[in-house]
Amino acid sequence: MSTGERDTIADETVEAPVENSSTNRKQPFPQGFLDTISTGWAERPEKVPAPRAQAPFAAKRRAAVSAAFPGQRLVIPAGSLKQRSNDTDYVFRAHSAFAHLTGWASDAEPDSVLVFEPTDGGHDVTLYFRERADRTTTEFYGDATIGEFWIGPRPSLAGVAADLQIATAHLHEFRPSEGELVLDEDETLTRVVSELRLIKDEFEIAEMRRAVEITANGFDDIIRELPAAIAHARGERVVEGVFHRRAREDGNGEGYDTIAASGPHACYLHWTRNDGVVAPGDLILVDAGVEADSLYTADITRTLPVSGTFTDVQRRVYETVREAADAAFAAARVGVRFRDVHAAAMAVIAERTAEWGLLPVTAEEALDADAGGQHRRYMVHGTSHHLGIDVHDCAQARREMYYDGILAPGMVFTIEPGLYFQIDDLTVPAELRGIGVRIEDDILMTEDGPVNLSADIPRTADEVEAWMARLRG
């Protein structure tokens, strides 16, 4: 039986299932079951938890949203289960804005709704969700999607109210209202809650550190298991699986699909098929991040020589990418435009690819905003994106607040330059074809400058070789 099974089991014995119907998996219950299923259960004492650590931070976030929309009713849905196939669902993950404003994270309930009701003094905020079903109801045993007999205990209204420090009510009491603003339907509301996440609070920064710490352990696991990956016909899947185990054991899971791209696959920026071999002599690019139970995620890339040692050509490409990353890090200062971090990295990429004879123009010409860009063939993506409760956080923010925004303390973003020479690219010499390198770190901006949260994960070519030698004995 699958964990995503959606069947609602018939609660009477009147008819047998109709052959070839959409309900032909339903089985009627005999009368004896129906007479006894609701009895013989021990009392379930109400456990009222202490407020979770995120509760006061979420309250401040809600206050900021309230202040931005005086007199307007706001509706922030958590979202619903999403179908994977037929009658199975994906694991539920609440909408990021909902989680950010409630503090309800990996334990959030599907179909919940956070509602801001306007008052003279601001808003009354209520969290509506599906209260646990009494064992005398057919929902308890008959609904495989939400019934506690199937999925386990659901939270109570009183318990969630105490945990999150929010007023709660049963979902069936929620009523839509004319003129209300609904997340992802109203552009302004969607933008405001996205921009609210540009500056991380104390709780969020601590969770980002935690996600990076677990991710670092996952990279250690990968290096230890590289011999198993080499031995397997789909070694990239071994790498993916090793990281998945760490993510699930110590966090909520991965913050995004792991990229385990070995050999020429490293040149495909979003390679998640992960079905290739891991061959000695190649590089393997691993882009992976653990999502903590709070839903905050790391996003880190390291490129490893499968044999444990870079070739001269691989080292030259790798150290150029590191040079670009270091230049971007040096450019990141409070008051600097976000896009200037990217520009610093691209200046190095243009200079080096021109120096190697790969460009039909000079580096200066390649960097011309209108007529240049020739070097972008080898690094088409941006250098940085905001990071937090989403891997690409704050994505609905205005351009002037994001790409053209000003770096400020509390921002968390990536620095991730790369060089990718695809296997069939005739503009580069044969020795470069099939080499892909990216180095990605997670950066916290402070008043004193940038802090590399992932700096403990080896970065230089020498450090990477020593790291691999140590872990592989």
Neighbour count for residue 31 (Cβ, 10 Å) = 10
- Cα angle 429, 430, 435 (rounded to 5 degrees) comes to 95
With bands split at pLDDT 50, 70 and 90, how would you rate the model's confidence at 473? confident
CA 37 to chain centre: 41
Give mean pLDDT, residues 157-172.
97
With bands split at pLDDT 50, 70 and 90, how would you rate the model's confidence at 22? low
Give mean pLDDT, residues 418-436.
98
With bands split at pLDDT 50, 70 and 90, how would you rate the model's confidence at 76? very high
Query: What pLDDT, in 10s, does the model give residues 273-318?
Result: 999 999 999 999 999 999 999 999 999 999 999 999 999 999 999 9
Cβ–Cβ < 8 Å for 388, 302: no
Query: What pLDDT, in 10s, does the model give residues 166-198?
Result: 999 999 999 999 999 999 999 999 999 999 999
Q: Measured in Å, how far apart are the chain's first and last C-alpha atoms? A: 43
Supply the DSSP string of 335-371, one letter for each residue: TSBHHHHHHHHHHHHHHHHHHTT--SS-HHHHT-TTT
In this prediction, residue 4 carries a pLDDT of 46
Give Cα separations from 218 to 47, 242, 253, 257, 330 (angstroms). 35, 7, 11, 14, 28
Residue ranges of domains in the chain, CATH in brackets: 41-195 (3.40.350.10), 202-472 (3.90.230.10)
Q: Which of 263, 290, 293, 291 is nearest to 275 (CA)?
A: 263
Query: What pLDDT, in 10s, does the model give residues 210-236?
Result: 999 999 999 999 999 999 999 999 999
- Rounded (10°) CA dihedral 381, 387, 391, 393: -90
In this prediction, residue 196 carries a pLDDT of 98
In this prediction, residue 134 carries a pLDDT of 84
